[in-house]
């Protein structure tokens, strides 16, 4: 559509191209200027380092000079000659020194009062302006020193020392001052070492490697801009090259400014980058201009093509293609959004994408801060660990998007109820923490936990569902339950675990003896891995009975675990752990095989042929090869498929409907029937229910429990029966314990019963006895 218009209207094309290209050039320009600025800053920093090195290289010269000076000044004969005024002797030795030591340019000797005893110089006249007064002043205070002085011939290092005996015991008889001019060779040596241009400008106009001379005004200016170490920096660009310089002010021996020492560097690598950047931007612009020219003259269509690619690429991005599939020119465009991205990234690392609440990392940081403050001000901190009850059911049966919406609503209510009393964050899944940083009294925490529990009393409306959820909360307190963030969160989690274990929809404070319960859980977890190999698992069988005829029509295999330490463990305690750890697959396969083998044996032994029902958990059912596993086990055990039934819970079956329908059809094809277990506890969509090729519905025992006295439960059971029959399913009631319950179920035309009323789950041997006895119609075995 856009292309059509472009072909018709050339002006639109031009405008579009310009609009597309301008940001590109802007990005190029932006990168160019930021690179240059960065490089300038780096250059300045480097120059400061280099000038410090150069300064210390220079100082080395002064130090060397000083060591020559001091070794002379300890010469005993010299000391005696000055004391006695033996000038010829001094002169000979001074002259000798001057000619044999290359760095020396002049030597002056004075007596103790400062009168010149001897004066020797390589170039006549240079010592006449020496600032003797300052030298002597300093020698009053210091035995020896070195420093720079300004002479008519230029800057010179002087080193001065009192003339004393070698061990310093005899009194000094005078002073020696050795001088050395700063020479171009020295500067060249330092320049090549540092790869920088350096120079000194003194007030007398003396410069090294420089074309500039220094004025009083310049000197003042440099001093004004210098940092604490006396260095000032600047940088500029000329012909694509960045020059960075550092300048330090030079002080003379009486601490008066006498000139500047400067260093200038070029930023070599940066030059290339900048050149390339500039060339790139310029050539991009040039290419575009050429393209435009091309377009305007004759080859409109050929330009249209790249443009079309460009557009296609953008469309690809929009439709979710990966970056690598998109031309780099388009990707370049994205750079501008980079900053926004960084911003978002920061947000991502501290906030939860779904609910916008702070995340685990934020919570941890906040808690650590709160603990620090609490330690100082001696107040308490509360950590509330909240988890929604049975959230997984909602996710499994209504889908993750419903689950996500629910979490958002929960987050909103939590935020409102907590207000400024704490910080709520989402740790992940349906887990939240609330940190109350300033607690003075435990009642504040209890009130908060109650208020939070209360926000779940009203339903959450998500899509078209009216959802009721509850929450369980574990609470730990600083300092009682731990003094680190980790310990407090862990203990709040332990308390939460207990809150869940003892009925949910409540809050629970941590107490130190809770951990033993967890130890049991860990024991179960580690023991479970060995349970199959150690033959610790066994099956019990619970009959299913026709309500009308009282005949056993099948049985449900229920697994038990004889734990070597903890005794018999019911499945509710280890199946969830097996699911969490993935052990459910080998365990489930063992149950399936054992139940099939047992049923086959009974049939071989001549007992009436019955259907054995095996529970299949969600994780097994979602395993890719569940159908293959069932097929293989039937083959291996020799049991006919029609004598096997799988029980799948309502939430499992409502999960991933398309796949479920496929799996159920495959099971039906091989002749295995399926029933929906615990019906009524999940969220079934009736429209899906009719898609499933299943044989029966099992009314959950929670509705059967009070069916004879609770009209609500009766209504639910009734509607399940009606619904089941309408869809041609057989309806089973589980957990039937009482005659009264049976009466109601019979009246409502429920087909089959299972429960203690008839028999609790029993071992294989007991089950045989049950069949033998039962066929005589005799309820028993309510163990």
* Run of H or E including 408: helix 400-418
Shortest reach from residue 532's CB to ligand C2E, in Å: 12
The binder of 653, among Mg ion, ligand C2E, none, by C-beta within 5 to 8 A per type, is none
Nearer to Mg ion, 147 or 554 (CB): 554
What character string, x for contact with Mg ion (CB under 5 A) and - otherwise, covers 726-755?
A: --------x---------------------
Residue 572 interacts with ligand C2E (CB under 6 A): yes or no = yes
Shortest reach from residue 700's CB to Mg ion, in Å: 6
* Strand ranges of the sheet holding 507-509, from the earlier edge strand across to the other edge: 423-428, 431-439, 380-388, 471-478, 507-509
Tell me which stretch binds ligand C2E (CB under 6 A): 54-62, 266-274, 465-473, 753-761.
Answer: 753-761
Shortest reach from residue 403's CB to ligand C2E, in Å: 22
* Run of H or E including 634: helix 626-637
List 352, 678, 730, 748, residue binding Mg ion (CB under 5 A): 678
Under DSSP, the state recorded for 322 is -
Distance CA 134, CA 139 (A): 9
Q: Number of residues interacting with ligand C2E: please give it, by CB under 6 A.
A: 24
Distance CA 649, CA 677 (A): 4
The binder of 542, among ligand C2E, Mg ion, none, by C-beta within 5 to 8 A per type, is ligand C2E
The binder of 570, among ligand C2E, Mg ion, none, by C-beta within 5 to 8 A per type, is ligand C2E
Nearer to Mg ion, 105 or 678 (CB): 678
Distance CA 72, CA 178 (A): 10
* CB contact set of 116 (below 8 Å; sequence gap of 6+): 108, 109, 110, 132
Distance CA 678, CA 390 (A): 14
Residue 558 interacts with ligand C2E (CB under 6 A): yes or no = yes
* Run of H or E including 435: strand 431-439
Nearer to ligand C2E, 54 or 753 (CB): 753
Q: What angle do CA 127, 129, 131 make, to 5 degrees?
A: 100
Tell me which stretch binds Mg ion (CB under 5 A): 561-569, 588-596, 669-677, 772-780.
Answer: 669-677
Nearer to ligand C2E, 472 or 652 (CB): 652
Residue 396 interacts with Mg ion (CB under 5 A): yes or no = no
Interaxial angle between packed helices 485-501 and 360-377, expressed in degrees from 0 to 180 and rounded to the nearest 10: 110
* Run of H or E including 467: strand 465-467
Residue 650 interacts with Mg ion (CB under 5 A): yes or no = no
List 164, 495, 735, 748, residue binding ligand C2E (CB under 6 A): 735
List 396, 645, 650, 677, residue binding ligand C2E (CB under 6 A): 677
Residue 53: count of CB within 10 angstroms of its CB: 14
Q: Are 93 and 79 in contact (CB under 8 A)?
A: no
Q: Are 610 and 602 in contact (CB under 8 A)?
A: yes
List 121, 650, 677, 751, residue binding Mg ion (CB under 5 A): 677
Shortest reach from residue 648's CB to Mg ion, in Å: 9
Residue 508 interacts with ligand C2E (CB under 6 A): yes or no = no
660 burial via Cβ count (<10 Å: 0-12, 13-18, 19+): buried
* Run of H or E including 626: helix 626-637
Tell me which stretch binds Mg ion (CB under 5 A): 254-262, 366-374, 647-655, 712-720.
Answer: 647-655
Residue 647 interacts with ligand C2E (CB under 6 A): yes or no = yes
Residue 405 interacts with Mg ion (CB under 5 A): yes or no = no
Q: Which two tokens stand for residue 15?
A: 């405008």
Residue 615 interacts with Mg ion (CB under 5 A): yes or no = yes
Residue 227: count of CB within 10 angstroms of its CB: 11
Shortest reach from residue 757's CB to ligand C2E, in Å: 6
Shortest reach from residue 679's CB to Mg ion, in Å: 8
List 737, 768, 771, 779, residue binding ligand C2E (CB under 6 A): 737
What character string, x for contact with ligand C2E (CB under 6 A) and - otherwise, covers 684-703?
A: -----------------x--
Q: Are 577 and 528 in contact (CB under 8 A)?
A: yes
What character string, x for contact with Mg ion (CB under 5 A) and - otherwise, covers 249-288?
A: ----------------------------------------
Residues numbered 755-774 forming contacts with ligand C2E, rule: CB under 6 A: 755-756, 761
Shortest reach from residue 749's CB to ligand C2E, in Å: 20
Distance CA 155, CA 160 (A): 16
Nearest residue to Mg ion, by Cβ distance, number only: 647
Nearest residue to ligand C2E, by Cβ distance, number only: 755
The binder of 547, among ligand C2E, Mg ion, none, by C-beta within 5 to 8 A per type, is none
Q: Write down the residue that tokens 């419903």 correspond to.
A: 402
Nearer to Mg ion, 109 or 615 (CB): 615
Residue 559 interacts with ligand C2E (CB under 6 A): yes or no = yes
User: What 3-state DSSP class applies to 89?
Assistant: helix
Shortest reach from residue 700's CB to ligand C2E, in Å: 7
Shortest reach from residue 643's CB to Mg ion, in Å: 17
Q: Are 757 and 779 in contact (CB under 8 A)?
A: yes
Residues numbered 575-604 forming contacts with ligand C2E, rule: CB under 6 A: 575, 588, 591
Reported for 19-22, long-range contacts at CB under 8 A and 24+ positions apart, including other chains, are 20/310, 21/285, 21/288
* Strand ranges of the sheet holding 241-251, from the earlier edge strand across to the other edge: 197-202, 257-266, 241-251, 231-238
Distance CA 563, CA 573 (A): 12
Under DSSP, the state recorded for 643 is G
Q: Are 242 and 43 in contact (CB under 8 A)?
A: yes
Binding interface with ligand C2E (CB under 6 A)? 542, 558-559, 570-572, 575, 588, 591, 615-617, 647, 677-678, 701, 734-737, 754-756, 761
Residues of this chain that interact with Mg ion (CB under 5 A) are 615, 647, 677-678, 734
């Amino acid at each position: 559509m856009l292309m059509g218009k472009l072909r018709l209207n050339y002006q639109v094309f031009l405008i579009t191209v310009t609009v597309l290209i301008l940001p590109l050039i802007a990005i190029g320009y932006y990168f160019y200027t930021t690179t240059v600025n960065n490089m300038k800053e780096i250059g300045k920093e480097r120059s400061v380092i280099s000038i410090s090195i150069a300064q210390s290289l220079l100082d080395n010269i002064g130090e060397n000079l000083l060591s020559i000076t001091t070794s002379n000044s300890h010469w005993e004969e010299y000391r005696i000659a000055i004391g006695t005024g033996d000038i010829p002797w001094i002169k000979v030795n001074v002259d000798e020194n001057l000619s044999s030591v290359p760095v020396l340019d002049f030597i002056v000797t004075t007596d103790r009062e400062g009168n010149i005893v001897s004066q020797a110089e390589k170039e006549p006249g240079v010592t006449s302006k020496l600032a003797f007064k300052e030298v002597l002043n300093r020698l009053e205070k210091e035995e020896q020193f070195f420093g720079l002085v300004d002479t008519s011939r230029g800057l010179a290092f002087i080193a001065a020392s009192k003339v004393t005996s070698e061990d310093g015991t005899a009194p000094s008889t005078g002073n020696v001052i050795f001088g050395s001019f700063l020479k171009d060779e020295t500067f060249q040596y330092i320049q090549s070492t540092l790869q920088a241009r350096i120079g000194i400008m003194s007030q007398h106009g003396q410069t090294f490697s420089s074309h500039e001379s220094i004025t009083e005004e310049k000197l003042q200016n440099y001093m004004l801009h210098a940092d604490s170490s006396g260095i000032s920096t600047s940088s500029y660009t000329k012909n694509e090259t960045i020059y960075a310089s550092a300048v330090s002010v030079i002080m003379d021996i009486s601490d008066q400014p006498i000139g500047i020492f400067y260093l200038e560097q070029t930023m070599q690598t940066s030059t290339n980058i900048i050149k390339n950047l500039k060339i790139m931007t310029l050539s991009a612009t040039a290419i575009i201009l050429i393209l435009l020219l091309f377009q305007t003259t004759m080859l409109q269509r050929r330009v249209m093509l790249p443009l079309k690619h460009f557009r296609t690429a953008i469309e690809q991005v929009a439709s979710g293609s990966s970056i690598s599939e998109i031309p780099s020119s388009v990707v370049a465009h994205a750079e501008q959004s980079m900053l926004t991205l960084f911003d978002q990234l920061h947000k991502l690392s501290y906030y939860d994408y779904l609910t916008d609440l702070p995340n685990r990392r934020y919570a941890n940081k906040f808690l650590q801060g709160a603990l620090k403050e609490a330690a100082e001000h001696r107040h308490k901190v509360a950590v509330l660990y909240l988890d929604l009850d049975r959230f997984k059911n909602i996710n499994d049966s209504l889908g993750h998007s419903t689950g996500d919406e629910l979490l958002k609503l929960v987050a909103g209510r939590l935020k409102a109820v907590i207000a400024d009393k704490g910080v709520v964050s989402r740790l992940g899944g349906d887990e939240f923490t609330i940190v109350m940083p300033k607690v003075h009294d435990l009642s504040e925490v209890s009130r908060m936990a109650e208020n939070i529990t209360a926000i779940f009393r009203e339903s959450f409306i998500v899509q078209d569902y009216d959802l009721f959820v509850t929450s369980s909360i574990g609470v730990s307190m600083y300092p009682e339950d731990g003094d680190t963030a980790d310990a407090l969160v862990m203990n709040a989690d332990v308390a939460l675990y207990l809150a869940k274990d003892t009925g949910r929809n409540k809050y629970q404070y941590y107490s130190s003896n809770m951990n033993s319960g967890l130890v049991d859980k860990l024991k179960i977890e580690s023991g479970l891995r060995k349970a199959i190999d150690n033959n610790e698992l066994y099956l019990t069988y619970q009959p299913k009975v026709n309500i009308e005829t009282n005949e056993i029509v099948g049985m449900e295999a229920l697994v038990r675990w004889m734990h070597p330490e903890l005794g018999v463990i019911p499945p509710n305690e280890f199946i969830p752990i097996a699911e969490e750890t993935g052990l459910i697959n080998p365990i489930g396969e063992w149950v399936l095989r054992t139940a099939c083998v047992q049923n086959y044996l009974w049939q071989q032994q001549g007992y009436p042929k019955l259907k054995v029902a095996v529970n299949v958990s969600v994780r097994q059912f979602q395993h890719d090869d569940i159908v293959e596993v069932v097929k293989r086990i039937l083959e291996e055990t020799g049991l006919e498929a029609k004598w096997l039934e799988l029980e799948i819970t309502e939430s499992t079956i409502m999960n991933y409907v398309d796949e479920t329908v496929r799996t159920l059809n495959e099971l039906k094809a091989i002749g295995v029937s399926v029933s929906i277990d615990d019906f009524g506890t999940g969220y079934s969509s009736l429209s899906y229910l009719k898609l499933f090729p299943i044989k029966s519905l099992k009314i959950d025992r929670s509705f059967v429990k009070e069916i004879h006295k609770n009209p609500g439960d009766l209504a639910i059971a009734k509607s399940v029966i009606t619904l089941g029959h309408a869809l041609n399913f057989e309806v089973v009631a589980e957990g039937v314990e009482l005659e009264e319950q049976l009466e109601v179920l019979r009246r409502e035309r429920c087909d089959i019963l299972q429960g203690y009323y008839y028999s609790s789950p029993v071992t294989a041997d007991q089950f045989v006895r049950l069949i033998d006895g039962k066929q005589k119609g005799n309820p028993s075995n309510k163990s």
